[in-house]
A and B are shown apart, each in its own frame.
Chain A
Amino acid sequence: MIHTKESMRFRLPQKSGPERDAELLEQYRTEKDLRVLGRLYARYMDLVYGLCLKYLKNEEKASDAVMEIFEVLVQKALQHEIREFKPWLYVLAKNHCLMLLRKSGKLQEQTFDPAVMYSLSPEHLSEDSDAETREAQLKRLEACIERLPDEQRHCIRLFYLENLSYKTIAGQEKLDLGSVRSHIQNGRRNLRNCMES
């Protein structure tokens, strides 16, 4: 049996959702058992860490912020009436990150980058165009793909044309997952720039 990181992770029971969150929260408020709150927080730790990465742009700072937010949660979960845990945690985590940025004097207006947010899919490219325009766009896209650096082009083809997952591409190309993700993401940005030029 292969023990992946996923299998070692301390996961919650399959039953999830607002009701289950509320149960865990109520149990924590009653018993004040940190293990219960830890189980609840672990469910959203991926989201909290990603959020902290977005604002702090540093893995170590983001990791520390995730633990700091848990410490805040330990107190505030007892003090506040929480109806929906996930939105409440989102606000708590975001405010904590903004507070850290304010303290460090690095608070800037966050700009939303659609190129980062949306994947390159036919739906995004030709939502309101006719078949002819769509055909022209696809040809142009093919030309742009050819102009990409080799690694990006290769990964983009495997991901979008052959529908392979990141992990499969990484195994096939003998690259680490981060590199594959990075090549696909950069290739996608370059393609968008190419298509808009």
Chain B
Amino acid sequence: MKTPKEGNDLLRQWLEGWANRFGENRLDEAASRDPFLAEALEGYRSLASKDHEETLHVLNKRLGRRSRPSISWSTGWRVAAALAVLVVVAWAVWRVSDPFGQSDSLAQDTAPLTKTQPAPQEPASSEALEEETKTAPPIASKAKKARPVKPAPAPIPSEGPVKILDLPTAFKEEAQPKASRQEEASEYRTTASRGEPPVPAAVALADPLAGKVTDEQGRPLSNVEVGWENLRIATRSDANGNFLIPQDSDSKTLVFRQNGKTTSFTPQQASPFTVVLGNQASPPEAMARSMAKSVSPESAKTALAVHTPAPEGGFPRF
């Protein structure tokens, strides 16, 4: 058995109840030499009937909890700073890898005419955008400022009438080699600032398909009705047989129709492409009716400023 020699050990033995009268005598002797022990013993004896061991056990646990290392403020700030840096880096990486966001912001930066020749009045599309910004919630506005709006797909009514998009004037001219997306966007801004009919923002920002319609001899066919098979979006080819149609996520097949001739075509790769209009089975009657109904002078006013000129040597033939 261990022989306690120090006052602390004697006191511990006494508190645990293992001291007999000899142990108590030794404790008293030690207390007579140690004022700290003497006062402590006096304190315990003043409340002799209490279970001091239980209290000391609780105190020991409290001390253990207090002594446990915790995250200090400085560590917390370091973690917060690291997280902030991580978020910024992640945002930057995502931003760089996003071609649409980049092209949009560049397009805004490289709109020369809007800077040098400010239009007397804001185009309707800008007004619409401003109105949209005003009505948007504050958080959404901040989000728009923080990151250029990613081009949204063209708003397509689920069951609405077919929308006919006529080609812009520029598209009727001789096709030019396609430049970068920045130039496309810049062209759009330029067109808008000239006071030409405004283009709905959503349509202008869409990624349309460009193509050309020819007859079996390869001659371009104008005024050919071009529409997606689900009848929701349609347009017409221009004098050179060129057409431009927004993509439709719900439909993959284009239907071409003119003077009873009908051809279906499923684009397999990026535009531009050439389609030969031949004799095929007629599309569904609903398609024909919708297309005929939607072709009106009012709908022809909508001009699409974005165009995809044919590359030199013509479009690839499928």
- Please report A residues at the B interface, Cβ cutoff 8 Å: 4-6, 8-10, 16, 33-35, 37-39, 41-55, 57, 59, 62-63, 66-67, 70, 86-87, 89-90, 94, 112-113, 116-119, 121, 123, 159-160, 163-168, 170, 176-182, 185-186
Whether B59 contacts A67 by the Cβ 8 Å rule is: yes
Whether A121 contacts B60 by the Cβ 8 Å rule is: no
| Per-position binary interface string of chain B over residues 31-58, scored 1 when its CB falls under 8 Å from any chain A CB and 0 otherwise | 1000111111111111111111111111
Count the B residues whose beta carbon is within 8 Å of the partner chain — how many? 51
- The reply on B8 being an interface residue by CB < 8 A is yes
The 8 Å CB contact of B17, one of A16, A117, A177, is A177
Q: A176 to chain B: closest CB distance in Å?
A: 7
With A53-B44, A119-B28 already in contact, the answer to whether A165 and B37 are too (CB < 8 A) is no
13 contacts between A and B (CB under 8 A): A38-B63, A38-B67, A47-B37, A47-B40, A51-B36, A63-B58, A66-B59, A117-B41, A117-B45, A121-B21, A166-B20, A170-B17, A186-B48
Whether B66 contacts A67 by the Cβ 8 Å rule is: yes
Taken together as a complex, chains A and B put the C-alpha atoms of A50 and B24 apart, in Å, by 16
Q: Quick one: closest B residue to A54, CB to CB?
A: B43
Within 8 A of A (CB), among B3-24: 6, 8, 11-12, 14-24
With A37-B67, A118-B28 already in contact, the answer to whether A45 and B40 are too (CB < 8 A) is no
With A34-B69, A55-B43 already in contact, the answer to whether A46 and B21 are too (CB < 8 A) is no
Whether B25 contacts A119 by the Cβ 8 Å rule is: yes
Other than the given A52-B43, A119-B24, 9 more pairs (CB < 8 A) read A9-B57, A16-B6, A35-B68, A42-B60, A43-B8, A49-B43, A51-B43, A63-B55, A116-B45
Taken together as a complex, chains A and B put the C-alpha atoms of A56 and B193 apart, in Å, by 86
With A49-B59, A54-B39, A119-B24 already in contact, the answer to whether A34 and B18 are too (CB < 8 A) is no
Dominant SS among interface residues on chain A: helix
The 8 Å CB contact of B20, one of A35, A86, A123, A165, is A165
Q: A128 to chain B: closest CB distance in Å?
A: 17
Whether B66 contacts A57 by the Cβ 8 Å rule is: no
The 8 Å CB contact of B46, one of A42, A54, A121, A168, is A54
The 8 Å CB contact of A70, one of B15, B46, B66, is B66
Whether A163 contacts B67 by the Cβ 8 Å rule is: no
Whether A59 contacts B50 by the Cβ 8 Å rule is: yes
With A35-B68, A87-B36, A117-B31 already in contact, the answer to whether A167 and B16 are too (CB < 8 A) is yes
> Top 5 closest A-B pairs, CB basis?
A50-B40, A38-B67, A54-B43, A167-B17, A53-B43
Taken together as a complex, chains A and B put the C-alpha atoms of A70 and B62 apart, in Å, by 11
The 8 Å CB contact of B38, one of A48, A62, A117, A181, is A117
- The reply on B64 being an interface residue by CB < 8 A is yes
Most buried by A among B18, B36, B62, B69: B36
Whether B36 contacts A45 by the Cβ 8 Å rule is: no
Taken together as a complex, chains A and B put the C-alpha atoms of A180 and B43 apart, in Å, by 17
Whether A54 contacts B42 by the Cβ 8 Å rule is: yes
Q: B278 to chain A: closest CB distance in Å?
A: 86
Whether B49 contacts A178 by the Cβ 8 Å rule is: yes
Whether B39 contacts A163 by the Cβ 8 Å rule is: no
Within 8 Å CB of B14, what residues of A? 166
Q: A74 to chain B: closest CB distance in Å?
A: 9
Whether B8 contacts A44 by the Cβ 8 Å rule is: yes
Within 8 Å CB of A170, what residues of B? 17
Whether B53 contacts A5 by the Cβ 8 Å rule is: yes
Q: Quick one: closest B residue to A59, CB to CB?
A: B55
The 8 Å CB contact of B57, one of A8, A48, A166, is A8
With A51-B36, A116-B46, A117-B31 already in contact, the answer to whether A176 and B51 are too (CB < 8 A) is yes
Taken together as a complex, chains A and B put the C-alpha atoms of A121 and B29 apart, in Å, by 12
Taken together as a complex, chains A and B put the C-alpha atoms of A164 and B12 apart, in Å, by 17
Most buried by A among B8, B21, B64: B21
Within 8 Å CB of A55, what residues of B? 43
Q: Quick one: closest B residue to A167, CB to CB?
A: B17
Q: Quick one: closest A residue to B58, CB to CB?
A: A63
Q: Quick one: closest A residue to B47, CB to CB?
A: A53
Within 8 Å CB of A113, what residues of B? 42
Q: A93 to chain B: closest CB distance in Å?
A: 8
Whether A182 contacts B48 by the Cβ 8 Å rule is: yes
Whether B62 contacts A67 by the Cβ 8 Å rule is: yes
Q: B286 to chain A: closest CB distance in Å?
A: 79
Taken together as a complex, chains A and B put the C-alpha atoms of A41 and B18 apart, in Å, by 23
Taken together as a complex, chains A and B put the C-alpha atoms of A46 and B45 apart, in Å, by 13
With A50-B11, A54-B40 already in contact, the answer to whether A38 and B45 are too (CB < 8 A) is no
